[in-house]
């Protein structure tokens, strides 16, 4: 399996308006909400799993912004 690059995450979720809108929606649903459920440790674990996917996307976007981008990769 070939992994997507940091730059690809940036292109899809930051430069593309549809991708950015989708990321905003996913963040509102799964990231910007409390994940802790004091009555159910399994629900907390489930919520943290959903949250970790958004964290992964955001981390890849951030890494794309600090890595030097090689324009030749696009050609």
pLDDT of residue 71: 47
- Domain locations along the chain: 1-29+42-67
pLDDT in tens, 11-41: 999 999 999 999 999 999 999 999 999 999 9
pLDDT of residue 73: 54
pLDDT of residue 24: 98
CB of 44 within 8 A of CB of 35?
yes
Q: Indicate the average pLDDT of the chain.
A: 92
pTM (two decimals):
0.84
d(CA 4, CA 68): 16
């Amino acid at each position: 399996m070939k992994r997507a690059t940091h730059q690809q995450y940036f292109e899809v979720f930051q430069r593309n308006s549809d991708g950015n809108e989708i990321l905003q929606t996913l963040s509102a649903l799964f990231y910007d909400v409390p994940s802790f459920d004091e009555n159910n440790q399994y629900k907390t674990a489930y919520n943290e799993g959903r949250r970790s996917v958004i964290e992964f996307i955001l981390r890849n976007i951030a890494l794309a912004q600090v890595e030097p981008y090689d324009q030749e990769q696009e050609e």
